[in-house]
Amino acid sequence: MEFDSEYISSLRKEYQRAVLNPEDLPEHPADAFKQWFDLALQENVLEPNAMVLSTVYKNRPSSRVVLVKDLNRSGVVFFTNYRSKKGRHLDENPWACVNFFWPQLERQVRIEGFIEKLPEADSEKYFYSRPRLSQAGAIASEQSAVISNRDELDNRMNELMSLPEEVILPKPEHWGGYRLIPDYFEFWQGRAGRVHDRIVYEAGGEEHWVKCRLSP
């Protein structure tokens, strides 16, 4: 199989929607993120809560898309199977990066920091707020494990979904939440000619952030 390299190399979009200066952003990066996220909601960006989560295990990076479930001054929250590939990576190396890309806004936000597990009570609360189908999925899927075929997974799901509604589906012990505690934010605004705007916040102490501009 061959790709049309000439066509691929010609793919190009000039970003011209907006400009970004340090003074355009609040002093706390979580407040800046909320402004951008709210705009993504207003503009009906497809899955604005989708973020690329990158981990490193034995010096080998790995990325996947997950959904953010909360983001405030305490950090970025998401949920997963602790036995999954990303869960094993985070056990070994609890540092990670997440990246949000909103092409309609010509913007992205990158956040780096330390990962901690949420208290079990928080994971329980979120698990039982999910649709029953999602609860069943978390139980049925041994995430990242090899399975013989799709039928194996479908049969597990069918068994769980055939249970009466009054039967509580138990949250697996190995399923729960993580919080990324940020020490670095980067806000990126696309500009014409690839001369983009990049504004960075770096942690400078408790509730204190140092803001600066980076060359694109």
pLDDT digits (tens, 9 = 90+) for 88-98: 999 999 999 99
Whether the CB-CB separation of 189 and 107 falls below 8 Å is answered with yes
Mean pLDDT of the chain: 95
**pLDDT-wise least confident of 2-6, 14-18, 53-57, 124-128:** 2-6
Which pLDDT does position 144 carry in this prediction? Answer: 84
Kindly list the domain boundaries of the chain, sorted by start residue.
14-122+172-214, 129-170
Residue 1 has pLDDT above 80, yes or no: no
Confidence of residue 6 (pLDDT cuts 50, 70, 90): confident
Residue 209 has pLDDT above 90, yes or no: yes
The single residue of 88, 107, 150, 194 carrying the catalytic annotation is 194
Of 179, 149, 176, 156, the residue nearest 83 (C-alpha) = 176
Our answer to whether residue 194 is catalytic in this structure is: yes
Average pLDDT for 177-193: 97
- Compare 87 and 6 and report the one with higher pLDDT: 87
Which pLDDT does position 36 carry in this prediction? Answer: 98
Confidence of residue 193 (pLDDT cuts 50, 70, 90): very high
Which pLDDT does position 163 carry in this prediction? Answer: 95
The dihedral formed by the CA atoms of 21, 26, 29 and 30, expressed in degrees to the nearest 10: -140
Residue 5 has pLDDT above 90, yes or no: no
Average pLDDT for 184-196: 97
Of 64, 123, 126, the residue nearest 99 (C-alpha) = 64
Average pLDDT for 159-167: 95
Homologous superfamily assigned to 14-122+172-214: Electron Transport, Fmn-binding Protein; Chain A (2.30.110.10)
Which pLDDT does position 10 carry in this prediction? Answer: 86
Which pLDDT does position 87 carry in this prediction? Answer: 96
The dihedral formed by the CA atoms of 174, 118, 199 and 65, expressed in degrees to the nearest 10: 20
> Could you tell me the CA-to-CA distances from 132 to 50, 63, 138, 159 in Å, in that order?
21, 28, 10, 13
